[in-house]
Amino acid sequence: MTDLITLKGVNKYYGDYHALRDIDLTIRQGEFFSLLGPSGCGKTTLLRTIAGFEEVTDGTLHIDGKSMKRVPANHRPTNMVFQSYAIFPHLSVAENVGFGLRKDKRLKSEKDKLIAEALEMVGLGGYGGRAAHALSGGQRQRVALARALILKPKVLLLDEPLSALDKKMREQMQVELIKLQREVGITFILVTHDQEEALVMSDRIAVMFEGRIVQMDEPEVLYRRPKDRQVAGFIGLMNFLEGKAGSHVNRAAAAPTKPAPIEVAQQGFLNRLRSQVGLAKPEPKRISHYQSGVEVEVAGLGKALVPADQIKAELHGKPCVVGIRPETLAILFEGETTDRRVTEGVVDEVVYYGDMTYYDVRIAGVEKPLTISMKNLIGRPVLEVGAKTRVAWDERALVCLAP
């Protein structure tokens, strides 16, 4: 894939306010790219910078190899779906969708055909004659999409396009958007503050905090290997334990063990929607047992290995924070056995979610109880508060972060 959009050292000030800080970003042709971050972190500002509604204070922006300095929005190969959709209320649906074709020299009949096709594509075939201001939220969103896509832009920019829809509609549109993107092959840049949406839809995600891109990775890497505590806490749930990184250890030399790879628990919700559109990887990710790595002393759990390339050099021999996701921990019910490591605990809190139960389990040596999520499989009991239990864990699910 070739690079389509390149930002280098982009800074943006609103008066004294530093809205974008040293943004370096490369987005590839045909990619579904998401900007994820809490409210006010500068996602919209970055998107508007790419669209041409904001000048950068400092740095360069190239789209398709051309510098976008002083190129106004109407001359950029980008189109945008606004958060408010910005449907023109005085025009009909067809006139809205055909708005960008006004300057086009083609025949009216050809344009009408394009408009009809665009409406068909977003599932609004036959709605062309309706007044735009009488549409529902979901329909407006589709009109905005059709209006932008009809111009066949190189990049489609979407500013929280789904945030105004209810949950059901949102999930449906997520699937449709992914499908559409595969179909048209246009690069999508999606702004969202919904981490689940970003994980489900994107090829790559940039996580932003306070005007800075903190981490940029594929959804799975972002989820499993967050770079710092902020990202780890923002995306999904994460237990944090105190730890101390020690010296390098080589197990293979000490006692060669069977190299059988064991499946690491997968994030259920991630796969649910992705599988609907054929995006889920058919093979579950398997990670072999670690043979060597840095030995980390984890509070409450004991010694564990972390591969040397997953722990920053400056953390060696220093206190660190160890993160572990709730779904990678497991409660061992009566009679169950495991080949994983086990620690003793007491149930502190039980929250029942229907398909899942979330337990807070207190273990010795850790102040904050560990959150553990368990699928409610047939025959599996729901434990009571105060019950003694065993918690199984695996060192391959640990991430070691700067405190």
Partner 1 sequence: MNPLRIYAIAYLIFLYAPILLLPVFAFNDGQIIAFPLQGFSTRWFAELWTLSALHDAVGNSLMIAVCSAIFATVLGICAARAGARHKWPLKGPMLSFIMLPLVLPEIIVAVSLLIVFVQVLGLGLSNWTIIAAHTLICMPFSIAILNGAFGNLDPSMEEAAMDLGETRWGAFRKVTLPLVVPGIISSLLISFTISLDEFIIAFFLSGANPTMPVYIWGMLRFPAQLPAVMALGTILVTLSICLLVIAEYFRRRGLARAGLKDTGGFL
Positions touching partner 1 (CB under 8 A) are 51, 53, 72-74, 78-80, 82-84, 86, 88-90, 99-100, 102-103, 133, 147-148, 151
Kindly identify the residues of this chain, within the stretch 20-39, that bind Mg ion according to CB under 5 A. none
- 41 vs 363 by CB, closer to ligand ATP: 41
- For residue 332, the SS3 value is strand
Binding at 41: pick from partner 1, ligand ATP, Mg ion, none (beta carbon under 5-8 Å per type):
ligand ATP
Cite the beta strand spans of 106-259 per DSSP E.
Answer: 155-159, 187-192, 204-209, 212-217, 239-250
Query: Closest separation between CB of residue 40 and ligand ATP, Å?
Result: 4
Distance from C-alpha of 23 to C-alpha of 204, rounded to nearest angstrom: 16
- 163 vs 275 by CB, closer to ligand ATP: 163
Query: Closest separation between CB of residue 147 and partner 1, Å?
Result: 7
Q: What b/e readout covers 52-89, taking b as 16+ CB neighbours within 10 angstroms?
A: bebebeebebbbbeeebeeeeeeebbbbbbbbebebee
Binding at 80: pick from Mg ion, ligand ATP, partner 1, none (beta carbon under 5-8 Å per type):
partner 1
Segment contacting Mg ion by CB under 5 A, of 44-52, 262-270, 284-292, 312-320: 44-52
Count how many Cα atoms sit within 13 Å of the Cα of residue 135 in the half-sphere of its side chain.
27
Asked whether 376 and 382 are in contact (CB, 8 A), the reply is yes
Query: Closest separation between CB of residue 16 and Mg ion, Å?
Result: 20
Tokens for 246, please give them: 């020690």
Q: Is 196 exposed, middle or buried (0-12, 13-18, 19+ CB in 10 A)?
A: middle
Residue nearest to ligand ATP (CB): 44
Binding at 51: pick from partner 1, ligand ATP, Mg ion, none (beta carbon under 5-8 Å per type):
partner 1
Query: Closest separation between CB of residue 50 and partner 1, Å?
Result: 11
Segment contacting Mg ion by CB under 5 A, of 43-51, 65-73, 225-233, 330-338: 43-51
- 98 vs 326 by CB, closer to partner 1: 98
- Number of residues counted as binding Mg ion (CB under 5 A): 1
**Residues at the site binding ligand ATP, with contacts judged by CB under 6 A:** 14, 17, 19, 37, 39-45, 193
Q: What b/e readout covers 8-35, taking b as 16+ CB neighbours within 10 angstroms?
A: eebebeeeeebbbbebebebeebbbbbb
- 99 vs 269 by CB, closer to partner 1: 99
Q: Say whether residue 44 binds Mg ion (CB under 5 A).
A: yes
Query: Closest separation between CB of residue 42 and partner 1, Å?
Result: 18
The interaxial angle of helices 167-184 and 268-276, nearest 10 deg, is 60
Question: Which residues share a beta bridge with 371?
Answer: 360
- 23 vs 124 by CB, closer to ligand ATP: 23
- 106 vs 375 by CB, closer to partner 1: 106
Binding at 84: pick from partner 1, Mg ion, ligand ATP, none (beta carbon under 5-8 Å per type):
partner 1
Q: Which of 188, 163, 175 is nearest to 83 (CA)?
A: 163
Determine how many CB atoms are found less than 10 A away from the CB of residue 94. 22
Query: Closest separation between CB of residue 30 and ligand ATP, Å?
Result: 25
Distance from C-alpha of 290 to C-alpha of 74, rounded to nearest angstrom: 54
Asked whether 225 and 232 are in contact (CB, 8 A), the reply is no
- 40 vs 126 by CB, closer to Mg ion: 40
Residue nearest to Mg ion (CB): 44
Distance from C-alpha of 27 to C-alpha of 21, rounded to nearest angstrom: 18
- 198 vs 392 by CB, closer to Mg ion: 198
- 209 vs 269 by CB, closer to ligand ATP: 209
Per the listing, tokens 């409210």 go with 39
